[in-house]
């Protein structure tokens, strides 16, 4: 595969609904621009779910040996700092699951917002391209219970903060990429 070289590191945010093609788009974009030194940061915890573990194995196999995979459900900022010298591009998939992990560990809204700000500050100081993936959860109805509303609100706030800081924002619909923001390479 021929790679289209990127002149300087950039930040890209790919979001969309479940099964919209966001992860596939992000992986293909990274593979089209970077031949090696690619790091996939997985935030999913399979939690004794054999079907989910099988999905993870299939995704890892599909990415191939050119990717280094780091599984980290909580400490994204620390992982970015730790691996920054060994990679040219990070693909973080996904922020929505990361927020879920923080909520399940009883982080307060303020603590979650601080974690997000910390990750964005670390990204701003990296000399690597960063592609972030998240679900857009604000297109549906208002959830009937408090925890679901809290999750929706935190995910929406996070998406706004990430989109503001990224130079490219892509919204995926039915496998099609809609450019929301492009400040150029």
Q: What is the pTM of this model?
A: 0.92
**Does residue 1 have a pLDDT over 80?**
no
**Domain segments of the chain as ranges:** 11-182
Transcribe 113-127 into DSSP letters.
HHHHHHHHHHHHT-S
H or E stretch including 102?
helix 95-104
Provide the pLDDT confidence category of residue 3 given band limits of 50, 70 and 90. Answer: low
Fold of 11-182: Rossmann fold (3.40.50)
Cβ atoms within 10 Å, residue 123: 22
The catalytic position among 25, 54, 59, 83 is: 59
- Compute the average pLDDT of residues 19-27: 93
Q: What pLDDT digit, counting tens, does each position of 33-45 carry?
A: 998 899 999 998 8
Annotated catalytic residue 54: no
Instruction: Tell which residue, 99, 104, 100, has the closest CA to residue 161.
Output: 99
Alpha carbons within 13 A on the beta-carbon side of 114 = 5
3-class DSSP assignment, residue 151: helix
């Amino acid at each position: 595969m021929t790679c289209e070289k990127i002149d300087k590191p950039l930040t890209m945010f790919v979001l969309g609904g479940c099964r919209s093609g966001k992860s596939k788009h992000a992986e293909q974009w990274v593979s089209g621009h970077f031949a090696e030194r690619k790091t996939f940061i997985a935030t999913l915890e399979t939690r004794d779910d054999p079907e989910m573990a099988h999905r993870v194995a299939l995704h890892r196999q599909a990415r191939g040996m050119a990717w280094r995979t780091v599984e980290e459900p909580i400490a994204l900022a620390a992982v970015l700092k730790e691996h920054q010298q060994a990679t040219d591009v990070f693909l973080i998939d996904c922020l929505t699951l990361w927020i879920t992990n923080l909520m399940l560990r009883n982080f307060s809204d303020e603590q979650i917002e601080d974690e997000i700000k910390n990750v964005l500050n670390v990204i701003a100081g990296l000399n690597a391209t960063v592609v972030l993936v998240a679900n857009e959860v604000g297109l549906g109805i208002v959830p009937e219970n408090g925890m679901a509303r809290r999750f929706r609100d935190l995910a929406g706030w996070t998406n706004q903060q990430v989109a503001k800081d990224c130079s490219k924002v892509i919204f995926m619909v039915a496998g099609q990429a809609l450019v929301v923001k492009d400040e150029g390479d």
